[in-house]
Amino acid sequence: MTRPYLSKPTRPWLTRSRADHEEARERILRDAARLLRGGLCAVCREREESESRWLGYFITESHTDEGVRARLVAAAGFCPPHTRHLLADASLPWLMPQVHDAALTGGRRLLDQERCRPAPCPACVTGRAAEQRALATLLRALDQPSILQAVLEAAVCLPHTGALAAQADMAHAVQMTTAARAHLDGPAPDYEVEWLAGSDPDAPHRPAWHTGLDALLPTETAHQRHSVLDRWDADAAMACCPLCLAQHRATHRFLTWATTATGRGQPAREETGLCPPHLHDLAALEGPNTTSVVQDNRDTWNRRLTRYQQLITAHRPDRRAANAYLLAIPRCNACDTHVTAGHRQTALLDAALLDPTRARTFEHAHGICLHHALTGPDTLAPHAYDILTARLALLRWEVDETLRKQDWHTRYEPRGNETTVTVRAPTLLDGRVYAGLPARDQGQPVARVQEQAPDEQGFGSVCRRAMEQRH
Ligand SMILES: [Zn+2]
Ligand SMILES: [Zn+2]
Ligand SMILES: [Zn+2]
Ligand SMILES: [Zn+2]
């Protein structure tokens, strides 16, 4: 006996469910194929495009959105690469004062709260979310032979291959790591650094700053040979954060040495491990050792993947421990140098400020940046904080004045040196933006300028004069 009244309400639901499932599956395969079509690396590109779209929308629309501004305030501004992105945009004269305003508001608030660290950069958060979505799409499409084949043929960079392998089932993880090891054993492709380190859209913009650091290396050596305090005095007199300066200069010195040292002083294998951004920076230096240092990093990846395979195919595999091993951030000697240089320069700052004469001189200098005050050690000299507080107060006035003069009704007022705060502010807010160096172009007021800038007054010109005396 048939019971149509039972089958009727259930069958359409089942059919719809299957149809929905198939439609979702087709969409995933379509998305995965689209991601892989664009070449190396599907996941990096998705992250970059998402960040770029977010920043584009920020420039045209969302900078006025209260929620977006709240996130920017909580982060005390954008990260250095995204700040550089905005500084290079045509919106610089009118938008950057608003970005600096948010960074100052958030930074000041965090300084007043103990042990509070800035939230992550909102553009980076958006990029990371897109990156995770792209990884999830590829993972769900791995059972499609064409998708798996593309992944095995290095359509995804090595760090993202590792991320995929850690989340994939055992068979796919073994296939992916085996293919990656085969690529590592083979000849180096043209896109080697892109594959080893992932793409880095900020990398082509950093060498220009590194050229500035190049010029400082012999000067530092000369001062250092004369006396430690000679070097300190020279650093403190520059129009930039002395802690950022020391960190970036030391890292650049390390990378330059790693690419050029020859003979017995050549870097040993255990000294050449680099994180993705520093691998990009090293590749841009193009020294005689660049190929061998990159090869050392290939070998390190090969060893990691081999060990990972051993861990996941062991008799009683602990997949979680194996994944933790694979995804652990590898040691970077350039980052270690950066950290050590920061500690040593901070200790020197603390010691120098105990000397009343040097403490008075430092009152007229640039001082430390907000980033270091927010993320540096608790032992930082209180005097350095006091000087930063004074600098930030003046910066706040300049930012407010620049924003006030953006109003059409103030067009009869002369545009003064305060408008150059758009490019000067990063040295005080986050010295990493200019690789620890002074701002390049502090010269002329920006936007709607008919008059000559007023005579050199105020903090910006004090810093500029200090620089001119030094160079
Ligand atoms: Zn990637
Ligand atoms: Zn960012
Ligand atoms: Zn700094
Ligand atoms: Zn590094």
Distance 282 CA to ligand 4 centre (A): 10
Distance 434 CA to ligand 2 centre (A): 15
- Out of 104, 139, 156, a domain closes at 156
CA distances in angstroms from 31 to 26, 38, 42, 208, 389, listed in the order given: 8, 12, 11, 37, 50
Domain count, the chain: 2
Shortest-distance ligand to the CA of residue 339: 4
Confidence of residue 16 (pLDDT cuts 50, 70, 90): low
Q: Is the pLDDT confidence value at 465 over 60?
A: no
Q: Is residue 246 part of a domain?
A: no
Q: Is the pLDDT confidence value at 456 over 50?
A: no
Least confident of 98-112, 303-317, 386-400: 303-317
Confidence of residue 371 (pLDDT cuts 50, 70, 90): very high
Q: Is residue 315 part of a domain?
A: no
Query: Would you mind telling me the total number of residues written for the chain in this entry?
Result: 471
Which pLDDT belongs to residue 184? 92
Confidence of residue 443 (pLDDT cuts 50, 70, 90): very low
Q: Is residue 2 part of a domain?
A: no
Which pLDDT belongs to residue 441? 66
Rounded average pLDDT over 68-79: 97
Least confident of 32-46, 206-220, 349-363, 391-405: 32-46
- Out of 118, 138, 156, a domain closes at 156
Q: Is residue 299 part of a domain?
A: no
Which pLDDT belongs to residue 139? 94
Q: Is the pLDDT confidence value at 254 over 80?
A: yes
3-class secondary-structure state, position 169: coil
Average pLDDT, the chain: 87
Distance 392 CA to ligand 2 centre (A): 22
Distance 238 CA to ligand 2 centre (A): 27
Q: Is residue 239 part of a domain?
A: no
Q: Is the pLDDT confidence value at 462 over 70?
A: no
Which pLDDT belongs to residue 300? 94
Shortest-distance ligand to the CA of residue 376: 3
Burial 13-44 (b: 16+ CB within 10 A, else e): eeeeeeeeeeeeeeebbebbbebbeeebbbbb
Which residue range forms the structural domain that includes residue 422?
347-448+455-470
Shortest-distance ligand to the CA of residue 243: 3
Q: Is residue 369 part of a domain?
A: yes
Residue scoring higher pLDDT (264 or 241): 241
Q: Is residue 113 part of a domain?
A: yes
Residue scoring higher pLDDT (447 or 122): 122
Distance 382 CA to ligand 4 centre (A): 30
Pick from 294, 275, 276, 298: nearest CA to 286: 294
| Both structure tokens of 41 | 């690396």
Distance 339 CA to ligand 3 centre (A): 12
Rounded average pLDDT over 409-422: 89
Which pLDDT belongs to residue 233? 95
Q: Is the pLDDT confidence value at 116 over 50?
A: yes
Which pLDDT belongs to residue 14? 53
Which pLDDT belongs to residue 17? 76
- Out of 156, 174, 199, a domain closes at 156
- Helices 319-327 and 290-312: crossing angle in degrees, nearest 10, is 170
Distance 331 CA to ligand 4 centre (A): 8
Distance 243 CA to ligand 3 centre (A): 5
* Percent of the chain's residues with pLDDT above 90: 69
Neighbours of ion ligand 4 (CB under 5 A): 275, 278, 332, 334-335
Report the C-alpha gap between 289 and 285 in whole angstroms: 10
- Helices 276-285 and 207-226: crossing angle in degrees, nearest 10, is 80
CA 40 from chain center: how many Å? Answer: 20
Q: Is residue 55 part of a domain?
A: yes
Distance 48 CA to ligand 1 centre (A): 10
Q: Is the pLDDT confidence value at 287 over 60?
A: yes
Q: Is the pLDDT confidence value at 461 over 80?
A: no
Distance 213 CA to ligand 2 centre (A): 23
Alpha helices by DSSP H, 40-79: 42-60, 66-74
Report the C-alpha gap between 251 and 235 in whole angstroms: 16
Shortest-distance ligand to the CA of residue 276: 4
Distance 372 CA to ligand 3 centre (A): 5
Distance 72 CA to ligand 2 centre (A): 10
